[in-house]
Amino acid sequence: MSAVGTAGTAGLGAGPGPAPVRHGRRLRVPFLLAVVGTAYLAVFFVIPLVSGLIVSLMSGNPDDGYTFTWNWGIYGSLFIDPQVPYLTFLGRSLWYGAAATVVTIIVGYPVAYFIAFRVSPRWKNPLLMLVFVSFLVSFVIRTDMWAFVLASQGPVVTALQAIGLAGKDFHILGTGGAVIFGDAYNDLAFMVLPIYAALERIDPRLGEAANDLYAGKVRAFWHTTLPLSRSGIFAGVLLVFIDSVGDPVNSALLGGTNTYTIGQAIQDAYSGNQQYNVAAALSTVLMVVLGIILFIYARVSGTDDLEDLV
């Protein structure tokens, strides 16, 4: 009996021993993942951001070089110089980005809704792949092809003129509408995927319950499906708006002299004129403005559901 009691006591004492070890291992995994994510953000976001700020505070020229002089006055001179209206370029970029974001929501939400609720499971992945099939082609090539489609002799304008909806002088290419359309086309997938991910998490029985409570389809969608997919819309807006505002390609290939954007100004200042301090200052201003706008948007729309989506 004493031997059995001793063995039982030893077993009881030894049982809880490995538990703290396993618990410690479980804690180390998320910690290590957090370290990796933090290091990634520091290397590819914080360091470039600080480097850009430092370059913007330099003075000099391409011939003699640039030196760090705490040149804070460059930020004031950028928006005072009447010869180069950077403030106009920034406002135009924000308008194009906002308009393209609205277009992607209008087009992308029905696509995501159809794939999530109106398609059998075996067809969902193929349809999602079709949404992203355009990414198999280079971004510049895709945009350049739209320049051909929207040209004055292209199929779109020719068809509109043939049915009497456009005159002989009508043109799309070189206008702000062409730039907005190009931004929306290139970023449409960035809106469809987050909305689809949010819709996929919604229990279809919620809509049935709303119908049982005498709510019509429109009212059930407005009060049930749309609020529950808010996190997907929020994520899509972030992706599309940020990418559209700073994009120089669509405005360069699809726009004209009256569609010059802040992205083109940054690209020309850096690559064309080698004004590295000006390009860095414009980039810093753009990031600060975008940060303020997105912070206000997040406060207004709320981000509680976004945590569930992630």
pLDDT of residue 4: 47
125 and 236 in a common domain: yes
CA distance 41 to 45: 5
243 and 119 in a common domain: yes
CA distance 284 to 274: 17
Query: Is 50 exceeded by the pLDDT of residue 274?
Result: yes
154 and 41 in a common domain: no
Q: pLDDT tens digits for 282-299? A: 999 999 999 999 888 888
Phi, psi (5° rounding) for residue 164? 85, 15
| DSSP secondary structure string for all residues of 58-69 | EEEETTTEEEE-
Beta bridge partners of 60: 66
Query: Is 80 exceeded by the pLDDT of residue 15?
Result: no
The verdict on residue 124 lying in a domain is yes
Phi, psi (5° rounding) for residue 65? 95, 175
177 and 40 in a common domain: no
The verdict on residue 166 lying in a domain is yes
Cα dihedral 75, 247, 245, 238 in deg (nearest 10): -120
88 and 50 in a common domain: no
Query: Is 80 exceeded by the pLDDT of residue 252?
Result: yes
CATH number of the domain enclosing 246: 1.10.3720.10
176 and 36 in a common domain: no
pTM recorded for the entire structure: 0.81
Buried b / exposed e along 133-154 (16+ C-beta atoms within 10 A)? eeeeeeeeebbeebbeebbeeb
The verdict on residue 72 lying in a domain is no
The verdict on residue 10 lying in a domain is no
The verdict on residue 61 lying in a domain is no
pLDDT of residue 1: 46
Which range of residues forms the domain containing residue 230? Answer: 84-309
Query: Is 90 exceeded by the pLDDT of residue 112?
Result: yes
The verdict on residue 7 lying in a domain is no
Confidence of residue 8 (pLDDT cuts 50, 70, 90): very low
The verdict on residue 30 lying in a domain is yes
185 and 42 in a common domain: no
201 and 154 in a common domain: yes
35 and 123 in a common domain: no
The structural domain count of the chain equals 2
The tokens for 261 are 């954007």
Q: Calculate the alpha carbon distances from 281 to 22, 162, 260 in Å.
A: 50, 48, 18
180 and 44 in a common domain: no
Q: pLDDT tens digits for 21-75? A: 555 566 677 777 788 878 887 888 888 888 889 999 999 888 888 898 998 988 8
pLDDT of residue 27: 66
The verdict on residue 194 lying in a domain is yes
Q: pLDDT tens digits for 174-225? A: 899 999 999 999 999 999 999 999 998 887 777 777 776 767 777 877 878 8
Mean pLDDT score across all residues of the chain: 83
Q: Quick one: CA dihedral 48, 54, 57, 59, positive or negative?
A: negative
SS3 assignment, position 246: coil
